[in-house]
Amino acid sequence: MSNLDLRFEPAQMPAGTEALRAEVRAFLADMRARGIYQLGPAGWAEVNRPFCIELGKRGWLGMTWPKKYGGHERSAMERYVVTEELLANGAPIRALQAADRQNGPLILHYGTEWQKQTFLPQFASGEASCAIGLSEPDSGSDLAGIRTRAVRVEGGWKVNGRKVWTSSAHYSQYMTLLARTGENGGERHAGMTRFLIDLSWPGIIIRPIYHMTGEYDFNEVIYDDVFVPDSMLIGEVDQAWKQLTMELAHERSSPDRWTAQLHVLANLLDELDEGDDRLAMQSVGRLVSHLWTLRNMSASVAGMLGRGLSPSIEASIVKDLGTHYEQDIPHVARLLVDEGERAALPEDNDLTRILKYNLLFAPALTIRGGTREMLRNNIARGLGLR
Ligand SMILES: Cc1cc2nc3c(=O)[nH]c(=O)nc-3n(C[C@H](O)[C@H](O)[C@H](O)COP(=O)(O)OP(=O)(O)OC[C@H]3O[C@@H](n4cnc5c(N)ncnc54)[C@H](O)[C@@H]3O)c2cc1C
């Protein structure tokens, strides 16, 4: 029987949100004026530690976390607005997003008091990055198939195995690792545990995997007899799958999962300002109206997360529609630039540079954080349709 219980309640923006938005915009303009960051083709994906630290000083990392862990006790919607502005302005927040978006909340929900006091302040200051180690060579979509194993030893665990596509591991201090610790006993997702790993520990080898764009952003991470002390276990032994549900709702709904191409749209709008091409106006009008709808859906999910709900189906819908939309932006821009009245833009034009990069990066958008097919499987299952 189907269960069509989908909720996208309108998000309530707290008082003062627009003032906060203006504050973030002014801060970003100042950062650019001082040369701390430049608008580049990769937008948010550039690694810029000084910028991350400035952001931490402003209190715009770990915004919703308790003050005693370095957070700022602000609302989920305030965090949403800050993230939205950072991405729309191409701010280089890549190095801290995984920690701020999902590893921090994971530790906050399931970590020990020691873990919260030790690691959350490092994430909230912008000084430490934390990669996510889920995917393996033969199991990306189907995490139940992971083979990296942690075996109990005196005082902790010994880990052997291999992770792939681990974004940011080459410059991160930490990584959250999903490892098999027990047998699944017939239940596919049982017997997995999450650990926090210090990437400087002996036995860890990090090798580059290159993107189609030519950049080095993700890795193969090999664990060769790595000792992990008990103090670094997150949550309960063999219960990582339950913990992942909450984490993936954070991952899939966050605006950074579908707004990485907004700076392409902003540049396209600048370019089109100078013409009155009706086809262009129609195409861009369509993109902007979709943006508005998606933005309201995504803000609604953020509001639900802020109220302690776990809207995993709604989050999957936002990510599926949002990443599809993200892929449309550079394609529409390319059609308008190549075939519209603005044919033959100069090579050094901002939009040309941004498009070259983003057309090559776009295929990754519907793979990272859960492929399109897997999201649709989840949605269908959640609605009782399969
Ligand atoms: C830019 C980028 C960054 C990433 N960063 C990280 C990271 O930091 N940490 C991390 O752990 N992983 C990361 N990943 C990995 C990503 O999460 C996986 O690539 C993804 O889950 C898919 O797994 P896979 O590559 O093994 O493909 P597969 O799971 O082998 O899938 C291959 C194809 O088969 C389809 N498919 C698989 N199973 C089914 C099914 N049951 N029903 C229908 N279709 C199915 C998939 O949709 C896909 O089209 C990243 C990926 C990218 C592209």
The string of pLDDT tens digits covering residues 133-171 is 999 998 988 898 999 999 999 999 999 999 999 999 999
Task: Look at residue 343 and tell me whether its pLDDT is greater than 60.
Answer: no
What per-residue string of b and e applies to 290-312 under the rule 16 or more CB within 10 Å gives b?
Answer: bbeebbebbbbbbbbbbeeeebb
C-alpha–C-alpha distance, residues 93 and 106, integer Å: 19
193 compared with 335, residue with greater pLDDT: 193
Q: Which residue has the higher pLDDT, 264 or 2?
A: 264
Centre of ligand 1 to C-alpha 165, Å, is 9
Strand partners, 223: 161, 204
Kindly report the protein residue whose alpha carbon is nearest to atom 23 of ligand 1.
140
> Which pLDDT score is estimated for 355?
85
Residue 135 alpha carbon to ligand 1 centre in Å = 7
Q: Give the pLDDT band of residue 274 (cuts 50, 70, 90).
A: low
pLDDT band at 320 (very low <50, low <70, confident <90, very high): very high
The secondary structure of residue 232, as a DSSP letter, is G
Compute, in angstroms, the gap from residue 71 CA to the centroid of ligand 1.
32
* pLDDT value at residue 90: 84
Q: Sorting pLDDT into bands at 50, 70 and 90, what band is 357?
A: confident
Residue type, 322: G
- When pLDDT is averaged across residues 268-284 and rounded to a whole number, the result is 81
Alpha carbon of 164 to ligand 1 centroid (Å) = 10
Residue 15 CA to residue 36 CA, distance in Å, equals 30
More confident of the two residues 251 and 351: 351
- Residue 68: strand, helix, or coil: helix
- What average pLDDT does range 8-20 have in this prediction? 89
Phi, psi of 158 (to 5 degrees): -115, 125
Structural domains of the chain, ranges and CATH numbers in brackets: 17-128 (1.10.540.10), 132-239 (2.40.110.10), 258-382 (1.20.140.10)
Q: State yes or no: pLDDT of 289 exceeds 90.
A: yes
So what's the pLDDT on residue 339?
Answer: 61
**pLDDT at 345 (0 to 100):** 66
pTM: 0.92
Return the higher-pLDDT residue of 340 and 180.
180
- What spacing in Å lies between the alpha carbon of 378 and ligand 1's midpoint? 14
What pLDDT, on the 0 to 100 scale, is given for residue 55?
96
Residue of minimum CA distance from atom 37 in ligand 1: 141
Ligand 1: which residues within 6 Å by Cβ?
131-135, 140-142, 165-167, 218, 364, 367-368, 370-371, 373-374, 377
pLDDT mean over 349-362: 84
Q: Which atom of ligand 1 is nearest to the CA of 361?
A: 1
301/8 Cα distance (integer angstroms):
7
User: Residue 123 pLDDT more than 60?
Assistant: yes
Q: Is the pLDDT of residue 303 over 80?
A: yes
Rounded Cα distance, 176 and 248, in Å: 13
Nearest CA to ligand 1 atom 13: 165
Nearest CA to ligand 1 atom 16: 368
Residue nearest ligand 1's atom 48 by CA: 371
Beta-carbon-side half-sphere exposure of residue 323 (alpha carbons within 13 Å): 25
User: What pLDDT does 199 receive?
Assistant: 98
- Cα dihedral 154→155→156→159 (10° resolution): -50
In sequence order, the 6+-apart residues with CB closer than 8 A to the CB of 27 are 58
pLDDT one-digit tens code per residue, 59-81: 999 999 999 999 999 998 999 99
Q: Which atom of ligand 1 is nearest to the CA of 135?
A: 11
| Residue of 92, 80, 193, 90 lying closest to 133 (CA atoms) | 193
- Nearest partner of 63 among 126, 128, 129, judged by Cα: 126
For atom 32 of ligand 1, the residue with the nearest CA is: 141
The pLDDT of residue 302 is above 90: no
Q: Which residue blocks in the chain are alpha helix, DSSP H?
A: 17-33, 49-58, 76-88, 94-98, 104-110, 113-124, 240-253, 262-272, 278-306, 312-339, 350-361, 372-382
